[in-house]
Structure 1
Amino acid sequence: MTRMKRLSRLATLAGAISFALLIVGCNEKPISPIGNSDPVLPEQASQISRQTRKVLDPSRMKLLRPKAPRALQKGHVCSGTKSKLIKPDRKDNIDLCHEKLEFPAGAVNQETEISFVAVNDHLVELEIGPNVTFNAAATLTLHLKVVNLIDVNMAALTISRYDAASDNWIDLPSSIDDKQENISANITQAGRYALTWNVTPEEKEFIAWQGENWGGSRAKKMHRSKGGRLEFRGHEMEIPTFALRGDFKMVITEVDKEAAQVDFGPSGHFDQPVKVTICYKNLDTTGLDPSTFTVTWFDPVTRQWIDVGGTVDEKGKKIWVYVWHFTQYSLASR
């Protein structure tokens, strides 16, 4: 068993690495929003062998896709970079997509080139640089009409700043306008910011861009000696005590796109089997027998779908299975 690795590009956002439930075309390689899983190494073979390695026949399997109503309105993705020379003696602003950064006069001591970057194509995450502190607070405004707010508690919605020293996201006092179209927060320093809300004191959800993109993430810190449970839109992971090799921020990320995806993390192997539950209530099961449903994972080395099996709860429209590792998974009909 190898040590679970940290997040790459989304490490600072969700604080986790990825497991994926991927509902994609049979010839497509699944994509993780947090980084592709490593190929299975020879020394890991003994762990993998605890699960029967049964390859699905691509000509007979059917990977489940979302129902038509699940598709949201035309997708919005904010990407790219905008920079502007901000002068100390005047007001100014930087606009990027629908997002805005406003500076009052006196915000900087001297002319400063400020960058405004959308660092994530999937989740609402922006970075302001360089690493400077503002003399007068700037205002960061995010447009809510272009983000995915399904099942979000609007009263708890906030703009959060990543604090590298504590590896935590700090919630900022935020205000939503009367039309609930924009959320704003005063910021006094450059850095990375995201749109979030606290589901519980222990669970933070990260908001995604709307449409054909990620449907959001939910993260929770779990300890090796305690384990824990994390649920997001019907998908669950149940971590028993001492299954992890250390303390990790676990994550579930759902994707809203034609090839709908759900990622769980971190990627890697466990000391004890972990129960994962996949909800299929939003998937198109027309003409399919639920008893044929199975959980699979994609082996990037052999480019084969491996059948993991699972127990179907037809009433709850869920399927659960115990796994020894988190990697890229899918729900299929045999």
Structure 2
Amino acid sequence: MSATPDVMTAFTSGLADINLDESGTARRGANAAGMKSASASIYDMAATLSGHGALWNWGMHDPALVEEIRARVPGFGEPWTDGFSEQLYFLALRELPIDLDDYAGRHVLEVGCGMGEGLNFLSRVAPGAGMTGLDLSPKAVARGTATLSRGDALTFVHGDAEELPFEDGSVDVLVNIESSHTYPDLGRFLGEAARVLRPGGFLSHIDVYTRQRTETMRRTAEEIKGLEWTADHDISDRVRAAVRRRMAPGSHFRTTLGKQRMNPLVRQIAAHSQILMFGGMFAGYQPPPAIKALSKLGIVPWMSGLPMESYRHRIAVRR
């Protein structure tokens, strides 16, 4: 199914329903199924249209992290990538009490892996682990399998974050990056994370939050048996730094887009859409005059998205 206007409307309204609800009530039944179907369709389309090296997440910028990554991955960075998306993935493992050279034989699961490029990067940072990516989008999983999978070292499976197809206690580290704000039932996902993690295993959870979703996460995390939350870091400033660098003239993002054959106005619209999708409002983005003019005519949205308040990295250990 393609991302028709009806699908886009279902997805955006579902996101608002999940993230702006003061009560934090879990969505189940037809409402949850509709949101999941729309989400899968959106990411199916992204998997079909996105080129290698496209943006994976809002990213973060921390010069110290960049130097650490370069020490482990020689040649990391431009001209192939701006490195911001990778830094979020690196942070997800770096902050755990496991040395990056001690992952041999461990099972790392990423829930919400998209097309798998982030997990592929982690397989270079922490060699020797068996890494599995799970995603709700069949086409994203198919693309990851076709282009990145490497035997037991890196595999991809189709599945639902709220019904993980893994045995109890079979995972050493579960990574979840910029994904759970789309889940209709956050508690069910966290419960599944607790189930599949072995005792002493870790959940590294990174996501963006509205004020309401922050409170939902706080309440839900307290209710989940088996997970002990050991860290909660606000990384908003570092995320905003990455988004602003992507928006800047001459950035890797703008240079790459500029190489594509398209009308200059279409290029501005494409850049505007990408910036909105990948954290522009969170970082104080203001559209250029041409976009403002088109927005007055109703041709493109001027600003859109949810009032995201913070971007956080939380860690839990399975008791």
When normalised by structure 1's length, the TM-score is 0.25
Larger Rg: 1
Q: TM-score, normalised by structure 2?
A: 0.26
Higher helix share: 2
